[in-house]
Amino acid sequence: MIPTSYPAKEEIARLTARMLLEIKAVNFNTDEPFILASGLPSPSYIDCRKLISFPRIRSTLMDFLSITVMREAGFEAFDNIAGGETAGIPFAALVADRMALPMTYVRKKPKGYGRNARIEGAMSDGERVLLVEDLTTDGGSKLSFVDAIRDTGATCGHTAVIFYYDIFPETEKTLGDHGVALHYLCTWWDVLAEARAQNAFSEETLAEVERFLKDPRAWQEANKRD
């Protein structure tokens, strides 16, 4: 069913943060920081993939994501919903179902045999495509997916994610310079506020996470492993 009426953006952000905390998708560890794909440390880590195992939360958040996109981009703005391999695929399928649109997915690289395709499913010249992913950090990983979509002759001017880090100032500029608008449900700041409201972690831990969020590059440099 196509959602048509949902809470204001601020309430969606608070509820999304609450749900992520409830299923323990949010992880804070200031004593033994997580190592990110970049090799740099972080006291925070979020696993949006866990959402697919929680039907009530999954359904609510996909309603939220669909209505957010329609409110911000338009109710008839898209012809196709594309998921980025791999985390974006289930969420794209769920959003496509709610928006009554075809679904496709984009490989990170050509599969190396057969049609050597990066796009799986039917995507046509001139179609307006929404790229759906689980999250974005600095926005850079989205550009390859967007380019693969555009190579088909389709257009891609929007990407939608459940979670946006909102700690790297270049993110929206990186996407904007590539002609892509970002839509999201919540950020680390929303999660931090809800974690404090719930006393979900010690204040000492939350204060250290906040220091990281305010200046992640400096925090990472100070906490880099030899």
Burial 19-58 (b: 16+ CB within 10 A, else e): bbbeeebbebebeebeeeeeebbbbbebbbebbeeeeebb
Q: What is the pLDDT of residue 57?
A: 97
* pLDDT for position 83: 98
Q: What are the residues whose beta carbons fall under 8 Å from the beta carbon of 145, sequence distance 6 or more?
A: 82, 84, 106, 131, 133
pLDDT at 226: 61
Q: What is the pLDDT of residue 2?
A: 79
CB contact burial 178-201 (16+ within 10 A = b; e otherwise): bebebbbbbbbbbbbbbbeeeebb
CATH topology assigned to domain 9-203: Rossmann fold (3.40.50)
**Cα 75 from chain centroid (whole Å):** 20
Question: What does residue 105 show for φ and ψ, rounded to 5 degrees?
Answer: -140, 160
Per-10-residue mean pLDDT of the chain, 226 residues long, equals: 84 98 96 83 95 97 97 97 96 97 94 77 97 92 94 97 94 94 98 97 96 94 80
- Give me the pLDDT at residue 116, please: 66
